[in-house]
Structure 1
């Protein structure tokens, strides 16, 4: 007869752990969308640059944090993006799946917390006199998940507009960080600008596709961002 003095501790199976971590991507905009093995193979075959989730050790565990950049022409890793830069890319591409944005209200110096319901992004390529540029229109709807502004009325139109502008400014910081890091420092297009250009201007694309990442590094990107606060997590003053 066997006697167990202590029940064996359950160990996390690595594949299950990674699967659970991947599911959390659906609830945050600070991690890149899931990149499957098939998707990665397609990107590499097309010599298209891309990002994928980065796994890092954290205390006695592992976590998803930021992203790794893979250059399409060489299929080699260039470096990493931090959480803020990854979040900015998700706003730029419209692939964010939720989460929050925190910002400080300039009038009251109190925290505003915006809970993301959806993010929509439209990339519009332009070619004028042979020069390529992009306009990006980003819209997001959400709510104030917490209203710490006890001196403000969350139903007052002026407060709503000020809160929307505050969140817009904060998100633009994230977007600009993402553009600066990918376009200027790493000189790669990981947001799909080239694909959009190829659809609207196929002839132009044929001329630039072989050295697109290098061309992209000098292309102007103009971003128009709108935040719409639709509902509130807590009520304002009555």
Structure 2
């Protein structure tokens, strides 16, 4: 019996030793360069690249794009110029490095020639694509290597920069890491309906495979500060940038897609002209496709509840039933204006469906969808769309009136 217990204990100890050993193929964090942001711009060689090219330190390539990797933490003591090979200073928590070429994987391998610590993309948080690059090349081309690479997680956020991606990944704020900052803005969706649902790599791949037109959040930069503003539109057939929706347009789109998680709907009191603001708390919408013979039409129903959160028309009495009814009508009219504007842009300016109309038609009338899906964006541009909006003011915040 003692011998049996001894053998059992020895076997259990051996199994535990095997289970608790570290990964044999792991790399220590101190021996690698962790990049958390990736920027993709049209080709613009840095001064560092131009200088080394004069010395013959180049290889056969076309000048197609410039890739920026944002590395954290920067190497202690490394302090080189922004836009050159790197950007780091005692006050910066990140390092931006750039290289230019016509193959992203080849550019990444070139970093091995200039960094003693190889790049790893396991912790990549944000990919920023400049609108200029997205105008010239399909996202399928630009993201081909990124979607194939096992190092990059499919949960990585993808956004579009109105100007250069390098600007969107740069900051003068001490201790700020722009890649983390951009990720943090997405978390504010519950505060604003001007932020679209985050588009990750896996969602981007799915959108491109579906052939439908889609949106990516737009980032604007001024004086080294960044802001989400509107969304970039990508044509389903080409996967190229074709235009933008404004912040106001996104508000209208959020009513259509029932994606209102917060925000503020502002209008003006009819009698005084003063500002009055509605804060939506609950919102529901339905897109109803209607089929009559070969004719397709849509009807949108929007219902929202919320609070009258700000009213500059004092001394009006918010508790007055007539006044509340009047303001509900004003808010409904403002929401209808937002919806009308975004529908006009989708149908008559850009000729794309980025509001989910095709998906509703596919679900409710699959046979009809099969007939029109091949050229849906153009078909959608001529389809009649009607809408109705109902707003209810359910409370008045902490007002004692």
Shorter chain as denominator, the TM-score bin is: over 0.9
Aligned-residue offset at 1:95: 0.9
Aligned to 2:203: 39
Aligned to 1:129: 293
TM-score (norm: length of structure 2): 0.56
Q: Kindly provide the CA deviation profile for residues 58-98 of structure 1, in whole angstroms up to 9, marking residues without a partner as x.
A: 22211110000011111111111111111111111111210
The count of aligned residue pairs is: 231
1:104 aligns with 2:276: no
User: 1:29 pairs with 193, 202, 206, which one?
Assistant: 193
Higher relative contact order (CA 8 A, sep 6+): 1
Aligned to 2:183: 19
Q: Kindly provide the CA deviation profile for residues 3-27 of structure 1, in whole angstroms up to 9, marking residues without a partner as x.
A: xxxx942332222111111112231
Aligned-residue offset at 1:149: 2.7
Aligned-residue offset at 1:236: 6.2
**Separation in 2, partners of 1:27, 1:150:** 26
Aligned-residue offset at 1:120: 1.1
Matches within 5 A, 1:138-217: 138-217=302-381
**Root-mean-square deviation (CA), in Å?**
1.5
Distance 1:59 1:25, change over 3 A: farther
Unaligned runs of 5+ in 2: 1-88, 92-173
**Separation in 2, partners of 1:200, 1:176:** 24
**Separation in 1, partners of 2:316, 2:341:** 31
Q: Kindly provide the CA deviation profile for residues 114-168 of structure 1, in whole angstroms up to 9, marking residues without a partner as x.
A: 1111221100000102100001000111101123332322111101100101111
Normalized per residue, the structure richer in strand is 1
Aligned 8 A contact 2:266 2:331 in 1: yes
Aligned to 1:3: none
Match of 2:241, SS? strand
Aligned 8 A contact 2:186 2:195 in 1: no
Aligned 8 A contact 2:256 2:302 in 1: yes
Unaligned runs of 5+ in 1: 1-6
**Separation in 2, partners of 1:140, 1:183:** 25
Which deviates the most, 191-200 or 52-61?
52-61
Match of 1:151, SS? coil
Aligned 8 A contact 2:274 2:311 in 1: no
**Separation in 1, partners of 2:318, 2:219:** 39
**Separation in 2, partners of 1:89, 1:190:** 9
1:75 aligns with 2:239: yes
**Separation in 2, partners of 1:59, 1:91:** 33
**Separation in 2, partners of 1:224, 1:67:** 25
TM-score (norm: length of structure 1): 0.93
Aligned to 1:4: none
